[in-house]
Amino acid sequence: MDQANIGEVLISSEDLQRRVGEIGAEISRDYRDRDLVMVGVLRGAVVFIADLLRSLTVPCEIDFMAVSSYGSSRDSSGVVRILKDLDDPIYGRDVLIVEDIVDSGLTLNYLMRNLRARDPKSIEVCSLLTKPERRRVDIPIRYTGFEIPNTFVVGYGLDYAQRYRNLDYVALLPEDAAPTL
Ligand code: 5GP
């Protein structure tokens, strides 16, 4: 594992697995007899959606979008470019957006407006992590894994300069390696 520069472990692998199982059970209850399509936001949500998918007991499809935010790498500008769109239409379907982390909320705000315009039957959000202190727009998150403080985290799909996604836990970067918040 790529651990040389890793700081304190914030959420252990065991805690992640337990919480993902709980959320999966909740989604399975809520989406029984519905037409669920989970939309994973590339690339950070890949690990989460893969585990979440396997904890579901209801039929579901998955699709992916890739977006990039203009502005500095750290601060979302709210102007989002779609790098990869969904493969299939979502008209009339029950969409669940699966995110790695909601920070300012600007990316998700854009994404929800964009997907709503396609007339799904319903649209909800499931985010592994959320940083409520950083929020700039109010986003209704239906399923949240963990609330974390205002700090930069990596692991379990989340990267810093494309590294650390492979860690099976969520960790802080050491002070000198972390981007300034
Ligand atoms: P927002 O538009 O909510 O400010 O930005 C959300 C995106 O910023 C996330 O999908 C993620 O890509 C990135 N991001 C925000 N906070 C963190 C963090 O602590 N660590 C990592 N690796 N990415 C983050």
Per residue in 22-70, pLDDT (tens digit) is: 999 999 999 999 999 999 999 999 999 999 999 999 999 999 999 987 6
Residue 1, burial from CB neighbour count under 10 angstroms (0-12, 13-18, 19+) = exposed
Q: Which of 61-70, 84-93, 100-109, 161-170 has the lowest mean pLDDT?
A: 61-70
- CB-based contact 66:45 (threshold 8 Å): no
To test the pocket of ligand 1, the residue of 81, 127, 158, 162 to mutate (highest count of ligand atoms within 8 Å of its CB) is 158
Which ligand 1 atom minimizes the distance to the CA of 69? Answer: 2
Domains and CATH numbers, the chain: 13-148 (3.40.50.2020)
